[in-house]
Structure 1
Amino acid sequence: MVRILVGEDEETMRDLLAKLLTHAGYEVVMASDGEDALEKFYQTAFELVILDWMMPKRDGLTVAKQMKRERPIKVLMLTAKNLPADEVAVLVAGVDDYLAKPFHAEVLLVRVQKLLGLIQGDDQRLVFYPAELNVRLDGTPLSLTKKEYELLYYFYQNQQRVLTREQLVLAVWGMEAETDARTVDSFIRRLRDKVGTAFIQTVYGTGYRFEIPKK
């Protein structure tokens, strides 16, 4: 299941986001301020982070910059600021998307799906269904375990990037997992058996790179 971290200090909005995202099939972890969001970010692997800009202790922009320095992560910023200069400040800082409050629930969900790569064009070979932990390759469902799904999805989110085994362990299994390079290699072999060897390329001495080959 796709895991999303939400940093929001207003209790009513926090509850609304939790219900909305959970109902849409995501696993949601809530944080009430910037420091809480950073602490949870370091403890668990997430596919997406949603941050309110004006959080106490550390504001959302500062938190987003620090998260981006630590690992590849998609960040959606929520804010009551809606001037063009505010949007420019967010995007220049490296945040992936920006949504001004108040917003419609369906707009938020579409932004989330887009950032997660779940809105595909007709030319996309892989389609992910996070609520069911299901993936279709060229229209055919793949039989994946939970960790295989999470590993494949992380590769998909980081296409054409060279990822080390250490990055994969942190992103998929987390900091506290007793997982080593041999475990990663074993999962890679299993994924190759299911999606095909052309998708996951070995970069010798470094790690792996994921690309979607044309038919």
Structure 2
Amino acid sequence: MKTKILVVDDEIHIRELIKFYLNKEGYEIREASNGEEALEIVENEFIDLAIVDVMMPIMDGYDFVKEMKEIRDIPAIMLTAKGTSEDKLKGFDLGIDDYVVKPFDAPELMARVKTILKRYSVNAQNIITIGNTTLDGDKYEIHYKGEVIHLPLKQFELVFELAKNPNQIFSREQLIERIWGMDYDGFDRTVDVHIKRIRENLGHIEDFKVVTVRGLGYKVEVEAQ
């Protein structure tokens, strides 16, 4: 599977330059011209690394990285014309991995991309197999008897987390911490809503079921083989 990189910049010539070098390295590219477009991609696809400009219309790079990190902790390189220590600290406080000042040297940017991807080991196998069902954590796909099922990102992350530990019960609080993060302060029935939708989408799978353990939480129950 190709490593997927998201390029977010409102300047099309910058995106084209970065895409040219990324393509030469064999990466798969997604692109967006502002933070809102980029968030939609992050919510619906598995992204291995984001290269993000700071100054963009609609939603700037800082706000995008903050929102992105709440969805999933995707590695990020920030591009900007601003090179002050204050700007860099702001980015690093948001959890970015590297900071590149424009104008930049494209081969150097590629070297930084490779270093970060190696650090995160994005090419490591991340596969769970239960009977005839395979959950691919790299592609965010579920394969069942020749069928390929794509779930929304949070649904997949939730069922994948449960399937990693079949028959183990997880409380709502544990699942929220693992999938949404400790700082999540949203609706406390979020897990219930996602479980309901997972059951609707995967109810035909015979190898396992997501079941409710009354008063305790949820688990993936594996059918006897």
Regarding TM over 0.5, the answer is yes
- Write the letter of the residue equivalent to 2:84: L
**In structure 2, do the counterparts of structure 1 residues 180 and 92 end up closer, same or farther at CA, with 3 Å as the change threshold?**
closer
- How many angstroms does 1:22 deviate by? 1.0
For residue 113 of structure 1, give the secondary structure of its aligned residue in structure 2: helix
Cα distance in 1 for residues equivalent to 2:109 and 2:26 = 14
Q: Following TM superposition, by how much is the alpha carbon of 1:172 offset from its aligned partner in structure 2, in angstroms?
A: 3.1
1:205 Cα shift? 3.7
Aligned to 2:40: 39
Matches within 5 A, 1:1-215: 1-117=2-118, 149=125, 151=126, 172-173=139-140, 177=150, 204-205=168-169
| 1:157 equivalent in structure 2 | none
Deviates most, 1-10 or 101-110: 101-110
> What is the aligned-residue identity percentage?
33
CA distance in 2, matches of 1:73, 1:23: 22
- What whole-Å deviation, never above 9, does each CA across 1:150-192 have from its counterpart, x for those lacking one? x26xxxxxxxxxxxxxxx76763269715979x969x98xxxx
* CA pair 16-69 structure 1, distance change in 2 beyond 3 A: same
Q: What TM-score does the superposition give when structure 1 sets the normalisation length? A: 0.60
1:58 partner SS: coil
Equivalent pairs counted in the alignment come to: 153
* Structure 2 letter corresponding to 1:78: L
The one-letter code sitting in structure 2 at the alignment partner of 1:177 is H
Q: CA deviation at 1:72?
A: 1.9
Equivalent position amino acid for 1:172 in 2:
K
Q: Quote the RMSD (CA, aligned, Å).
A: 3.5
What letter matches 1:59 in structure 2?
D
Compared CA separation, residues 61 and 174, structure 1 to 2 (3 A): farther
2-structure distance, mates of 1:203, 1:74: 32
Unaligned 5+ segments in structure 1 are: 120-126, 136-148, 153-167, 189-200, 208-215
Question: 1:96, CA displacement in angstroms?
Answer: 1.7
Do the aligned partners of residues 29 and 205 (structure 1) sit closer, same or farther apart at CA in structure 2, a change above 3 Å counting? same
Per the TM alignment, residue 93 of structure 1 is displaced from its structure 2 partner at its CA by: 1.9
**RCO (CA 8 Å, sep 6+): is it higher in 1 or 2?**
1
With over 3 angstroms needed to count, the CA separation of the structure-2 counterparts of 1:50 and 1:110, relative to structure 1, is same
